[in-house]
Amino acid sequence: PGGLGSLRVIRAPSGRAGDPGRGVAGGAPGGGARARARADQLLEELGLSGWAGSLPAQLSGGQRQRVAIGRALMNEPDLVLFDEPTSALDSELGDQVVRLIRDEMKSRGTAAIIVTHDDRITRYADRIARIIDGHVEDPGPGHRAGRS
């Protein structure tokens, strides 16, 4: 009571959590049904279909991160920004979440920018820019961790 299940949390960007008819469907008649179908699709793709009615407190850290990814993808954006997506996760789960981000973004043709202090995840990047002492150091396209 009073909480939002995973399905409603994912649907929320398409409108308010209690009014999912905007955004994905643009407020058109039947928009709530389309938003629900889109949220169901994302839950399935992210391996969370069995958790649709669960409250965030009932989910693991990795499941909550996947719900956040689904929420970011709800309106099919061209660019998704991730701020420290592994900060509250152990190494194994952090690696799993970053692989999921990479795979989901590539499969959708969606650009992503990940801001992180966690150098372990840079191996998944197509391009790396570092901010050092307030200055952006961008080695250029194609530079990856471990390459010179």
pLDDT at 114: 92
Q: How far is CA 129 from the centre of its chain?
A: 21
- Which tens digit of pLDDT belongs to each residue from 40-79? 888 888 888 888 888 888 988 888 888 888 888 888 899 9
Cα 11 to Cα 79, 94, 107, 147, distances in angstroms: 18, 24, 21, 40
What's this model's pTM, rounded to 2 decimal places?
Answer: 0.68
- Which tens digit of pLDDT belongs to each residue from 78-109? 999 999 988 878 888 888 888 888 988 899 89
Q: What mean pLDDT comes out for the span 112-134? A: 89
- Yes or no: say if 123 and 146 are a contact pair by the CB < 8 Å rule: yes
Rg of the chain taking only CA atoms, in angstroms: 17
